Amino acid sequence: MASVFKKTYTRPLSELPGEVRMAERKNRQGGVYPVAHWVDGHERKRFAPLTADGTGVLIEAETYTARYRRADGRLVEVSTGCRDKSAAESFLAARLRRKELVKGGVLTQGEADMSAAAKMPIEGHVEDFLRDRQSKVSPRHFANLEHNLRRVVGDCGFQTLADVRREAVEAWLDARAANMSAATRNRHRSAVLAFAQWCVKTRRLAANTLVGMERSDEAGNRIRHRRALTRPGAVR
């Protein structure tokens, strides 16, 4: 049966930023359960229940996931990108309408999937991408990747995948040439490129619309020049 819900995923305590504190909270039945408290990378106070073995926390996704059967009968789960349940249910209804078009031969399943992905809020795609990358890179690399990607997506005003355009990202990078080092601009470029390529790999985009963006010249564009170290005893 088609439905919308918020997924829960596990994150090891060792990957939580800063100091993690343990406490207890009451449940609706009057009992207590152990939780972990920490401050995330956006300076927000967070808490989540501990896993049964106490080595991680159970985190509820901020957006809803839709579960339904495609026209070929396969059960699928798709991030809606919606924080509001009513909006998520509207997303699911649109998916079910496309399912009927596939059954009627108006669309292929691939066309229906890409059409739906291009119109859904980009936040859902970003969350899926970050969740996929989190277990494949170091915590430090992941934190930088998340920060850089969210900054580009937010500053460029991308609302859906259909909004993602090379010209917008290039304009954003060019506008920061005066106060952002070439290396930092390249890291932002790499983050959004990796996201777009992942969307192609997962058949959310037909092609990477960001292909062709040139790297900034790190050798010829440094914001800060380091002074050579002075040898002990040398006269300045």
- What the block records as the tokens of 139 is 């915590």
φ/ψ of 170, rounded to 5, equals -60, -40
Per-residue model confidence as pLDDT tens digits over 4-43: 999 998 989 988 888 899 999 888 888 889 999 998 877 8
Token pair 């909006």: residue: 87
Cβ neighbourhood burial of 7 (10 Å; 0-12, 13-18, 19+): middle
Give residue 110's identity as a one-letter amino acid code.
G
Could you tell me the residue ranges of all domains in the chain? 3-60, 65-119, 122-201
pLDDT of amino acid 145: 95
Angstrom distance (rounded) from CA 107 to CA 140: 43
122-201: CATH number: 1.10.150
**Does the pTM of the predicted model rise above 0.85?**
no
State which residues of the chain have pLDDT below 70: 220-236
Q: What angle in degrees, to the nearest 10, is found between the helix axes of 182-201 and 166-175?
A: 160
SS3 state at 187? helix
pLDDT of amino acid 14: 87
pLDDT of amino acid 16: 86
